[in-house]
């Protein structure tokens, strides 16, 4: 899932020091098997835990092929908007095709977590799934600063990322699907202090209903 290939879209991708995934069709196949597809059990869980409600304006950072973004858009309803950004033009192309088929008011753009192209205080909720472990620590901090900037006062950030399973069988399954290095390099426990340094309050972390994922969330103060 980390393999890259040379074509014009990939050569024109924005420059970033974080990892960028390609081969969207293979990515979609693997993630759908894990319940990460549009309205899949994992996507619904993340949207529920992020407390997205009708009318919210939502940004999905590192949206991949858009499955979580579209699930969030379905939850937020017609009076809202859901947007997804990703560094991979190929992923964004697939996400746009999904949005066109679904008829959902969801927007996708090529973009970077460290340089989010939206004005200050735009979103009620920012979400991110299986993205942060791809980033070096300095890029995480820059990304969290950007997320804080685009959140409205009182808005909140929710991320879900790998938690290496305790069960040996599940470790083998996750390693086969996602890659052992990618799964084991995740360090969710290091994220809460970074969010607090950025200015987030009410920072909490913990397990999810998934054996593979933990979560971290924080809120932008109202004043």
> Residue 181 has what pLDDT?
54
> Residue 32 has what pLDDT?
59
> Residue 81 has what pLDDT?
87
Domain coverage including residue 35: 8-219
Cβ count within 10 A of residue 105:
14
135 assigned to some structural domain: yes
- Collapsing DSSP states into helix, strand and coil, what is residue 72? helix
74 assigned to some structural domain: yes
> Residue 168 has what pLDDT?
63
Tell me the whole-structure pTM to 2 decimals. Answer: 0.82
Residue owning tokens 């470790």? 171
The answer to whether 175 touches 183, Cβ cutoff 8 Å, is yes
Question: Which CATH number goes with the domain that contains 46?
Answer: 3.40.50.150
> Residue 48 has what pLDDT?
96
215 assigned to some structural domain: yes
Cite the DSSP H helix spans in the chain: 8-11, 24-33, 41-49, 67-76, 89-102, 137-150, 168-178, 180-184, 191-198
Domain count across the chain: 1
Q: Which residues pair with 215 in a beta bridge?
A: 160, 206
2 assigned to some structural domain: no
> Residue 76 has what pLDDT?
86
191 assigned to some structural domain: yes
1 assigned to some structural domain: no
3 assigned to some structural domain: no
Each residue's pLDDT expressed in tens, for the chain with a length of 223 residues: 233 333 434 445 666 655 545 455 566 655 555 557 677 889 999 999 999 999 999 999 999 999 999 999 998 887 678 999 999 999 999 999 999 988 777 999 999 999 999 999 999 999 999 999 889 999 999 999 999 999 999 999 999 998 866 666 655 565 555 554 555 566 788 999 999 999 999 999 999 998 889 999 999 999 8
81 assigned to some structural domain: yes
> Residue 216 has what pLDDT?
98
């Amino acid at each position: 899932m980390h393999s890259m290939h040379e074509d014009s879209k990939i050569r024109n991708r924005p420059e970033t020091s974080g990892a960028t995934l390609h081969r969207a069709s293979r990515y979609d196949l693997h993630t759908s098997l894990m319940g990460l597809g549009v309205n899949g059990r994992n996507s619904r869980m993340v949207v529920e835990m992020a407390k997205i409600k009708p009318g919210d304006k939502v940004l999905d950072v590192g949206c991949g092929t858009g499955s979580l973004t579209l699930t969030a858009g379905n939850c937020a309803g017609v009076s809202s908007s859901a947007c997804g950004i990703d560094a991979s033009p190929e992923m964004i192309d697939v996400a746009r095709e999904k949005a066109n088929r679904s008829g959902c008011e969801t927007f996708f753009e090529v973009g970077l977590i460290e340089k989010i192209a939206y004005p200050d205080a735009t979103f009620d909720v920012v979400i991110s799934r299986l993205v942060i472990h791809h980033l070096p620590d300095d890029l995480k901090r820059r990304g969290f600063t950007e997320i804080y900037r685009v959140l409205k006062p009182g808005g909140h950030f929710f991320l879900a990322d790998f938690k290496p399973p305790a069960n040996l069988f599940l470790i083998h399954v996750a390693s086969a699907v996602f890659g052992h290095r990618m799964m084991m390099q995740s360090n969710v426990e290091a994220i809460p202090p970074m969010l607090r340094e950025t200015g987030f309050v009410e920072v909490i972390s913990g397990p999810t209903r998934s054996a593979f994922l933990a979560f971290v969330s924080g809120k932008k103060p109202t004043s």
